Amino acid sequence: MHPEAEQLNGTIGNNNPVVLSMLSTRGKDIYFPKKGILGQTAEAKGKKINATIGMALEDDGSPLCLQTIASQVKLPKENVFLYSSSYGNLALRKKWQQLIFAKNPSLKTKPISLPVVTCALTHGLSIAAYLFGNDEIIIPEPFWGNYRLIFTNTFGTKIKTFPLFEGSRLNTKELAKILANDLSMVLLNYPNNPTGYTPTEKEADELVQIIHKAAMQGHKIIILIDDAYFGLVYEQGIFQESLFAKLADLHKNVLAVKIDGATKEDYVWGLRVGFVTFGIKGGSPKLYKALEAKAAGAVRGTISNAPNISQSLVLHSLEDPNYTKQKKEKYETLKRRYIKVKEIIATHKEYQPYFTPLPFNSGYFMCIEVKESETVRKILLEKFDTGIIALPGIIRIAFSGTPYDQLEELFENIYKACKLINKAK
């Protein structure tokens, strides 16, 4: 093991030996190099002659770049063309942490890590899998299909599932049964993809109580919180904060890992800016700095760093005085479509024999249970000029990407496709 990795492990073990035991073999081995090329480059910063930098500069010290690109961007050249740190833009990290506290009042002054920037949430989940992925991860089903590629295909972590719902409510009882191993890793995604469901305030409390009880019994638990669609909750009585707010200081045996980003929250899917943030009861600055270094080392070892231009654009947006107003306007666009979908389902009783909605209250999507979902999908493509996502036994509908005026037609087309199948029988 590299001495710098050993040093980080020692820091983590001295501050919380439970967290050290949670790290995978990869997680224990990784480190952010303070020496070598990066260290020598840092020591040379500000010198009159600096021949360490692996970037090309003009004679005046500005980034050497093509005007064909520079002319398309209003940002200063250094915010576009130069490398960012593997930790991410420090100003952006601090700003995002401020927003985490602002959007999650329950956190109050609980100590959490400074977020580490990733290349959006898929990469953030990959970093979490890199650091903590062992034999198994527990995920409620249905779930986003890319989890398989991230955890199982890439890191060899087997996915263990349990039903997301028990009737019309969140299935919390099944999670309580599963959290019986010495070490468990659980992934919770709310608002959920594909169902568009977020726990009620009562269900959120139940989840926290279940996790706390297991921790009190000596079980060590890593909770990965996929907050891709955070903030897009459309009903009263639904938990408005991230579960991270309740778990970040829950118990010394519970490590909460918040994976979020600007992708869905701020509608910048192609910019690929995400964050990984850690929280645990009694978390010290030394522990968090060591975990941040582990995460930054994993970033360094996979993609080197997230794009500087994307980080600069997101930071500029977050600091703009019109940011909150504009974000509210886009939220209202999605909420209006959500309300329309609810209205369509409630008023068209003729749909009930053919498909039934799963519970939904938030996010980008909703799902309907339907027989022969793949056959329905193909008929919609061939006969009704309509595309949906077919999963086993369900259809996922992205009202986020469907114009308001087309929602009635969308559901009517699904109804007609189902009737055609039934008639053919």
DSSP 268-326: -GGG--EEEEEE-TT--HHHHHHHHHHHHHHHHHHTSS--HHHHHHHHHHHHSTTHHHH
Q: Is the pLDDT of residue 53 over 90?
A: no
> How much is the pLDDT for 36?
80
Beta bridge pairs of residue 254: 221
Residue 196 lies in a domain: yes
- Over the chain, what is the mean pLDDT? 96
Domain count, the chain: 2
Q: Is the pLDDT of residue 388 over 90?
A: yes
Report the candidate in 416, 411, 415, 332 with the shortest Cα–Cα distance to residue 366. 411
Range of the domain at 381: 323-424
Q: Is the pLDDT of residue 422 over 90?
A: no
> How much is the pLDDT for 14?
97
Q: Is the pLDDT of residue 87 over 70?
A: yes
Whether residue 199 is found in the same domain as residue 343: no
Whether residue 244 is found in the same domain as residue 364: no
Residue 68 lies in a domain: no
CATH code, 137: 3.40.640.10
Whether residue 301 is found in the same domain as residue 362: no
Tell me if residue 113 falls in helix, strand or coil: coil
Residue 388 lies in a domain: yes
Q: CA-to-CA distance for 307 and 92, rounded, in angstroms? A: 13
Whether residue 161 is found in the same domain as residue 236: yes
DSSP state of 254: E
61 to 56, 389, 403: CA distances (angstroms): 9, 51, 49
Tens digits of residue pLDDT in 54-70: 899 999 999 999 999 99
pLDDT band at 16 (very low <50, low <70, confident <90, very high): very high
> How much is the pLDDT for 181?
80
Tens digits of residue pLDDT in 200-237: 999 999 999 999 999 999 999 999 999 999 999 999 99
Residue 70 lies in a domain: no
Whether residue 401 is found in the same domain as residue 281: no
Q: Is the pLDDT of residue 425 over 70?
A: no
Whether residue 194 is found in the same domain as residue 277: yes
Place of tokens 């021949």: 51
Report the candidate in 423, 405, 411, 402 with the shortest Cα–Cα distance to residue 384. 411
Q: CA-to-CA distance for 55 and 70, rounded, in angstroms? A: 16
Q: Is the pLDDT of residue 424 over 80?
A: no
Using CB atoms within 10 Å of the CB of residue 105, give its burial: 0 to 12 exposed, 13 to 18 middle, 19+ buried: exposed
CATH code, 366: 3.90.1150.10
Using CB atoms within 10 Å of the CB of residue 321, give its burial: 0 to 12 exposed, 13 to 18 middle, 19+ buried: exposed
Residue 225 lies in a domain: yes
Residue 22 lies in a domain: yes
> What's the predicted TM-score (pTM) here?
0.96
Backbone angles phi and psi of 19, in degrees to 5: -65, -40
Whether residue 272 is found in the same domain as residue 403: no
The letter for the amino acid at 288 is Y
Sheet holding 365-369, edge to edge: 356-357, 365-369, 394-398, 389-391
Joined tokens for residue 86? 């593997």
Q: CA-to-CA distance for 32 and 88, rounded, in angstroms? A: 13
Whether residue 12 is found in the same domain as residue 103: yes
Instruction: Confirm if 12 and 291 have CB atoms less than 8 A apart.
Output: yes
Among 269, 291, 319, which residue terminates a domain?
319
Q: CA-to-CA distance for 304 and 286, rounded, in angstroms? A: 24
Q: Is the pLDDT of residue 151 over 90?
A: yes
Among 319, 354, 388, which residue terminates a domain?
319
The whole-number average pLDDT for the span 11-22 is 97
Whether residue 152 is found in the same domain as residue 237: yes
Residue 65 lies in a domain: no
Joined tokens for residue 289? 């700095």
pLDDT band at 182 (very low <50, low <70, confident <90, very high): confident
Taking residue 374's Cβ as centre, other Cβ atoms within 10 Å add up to 12
Q: CA-to-CA distance for 70 and 201, rounded, in angstroms? A: 48
Q: Is the pLDDT of residue 349 over 80?
A: yes
Tens digits of residue pLDDT in 268-311: 999 999 999 999 999 999 999 999 999 999 999 999 999 999 99
The whole-number average pLDDT for the span 122-133 is 98
Among 296, 319, 342, which residue terminates a domain?
319
124 to 3, 257, 391, 395, 422: CA distances (angstroms): 26, 10, 25, 27, 44
Whether residue 292 is found in the same domain as residue 328: no
Tens digits of residue pLDDT in 262-278: 999 999 999 999 999 99
Measure the CA dihedral 180/184/185/189, to 10°. Answer: 10
Whether residue 200 is found in the same domain as residue 312: yes
Whether residue 315 is found in the same domain as residue 327: no
Residue 140 lies in a domain: yes
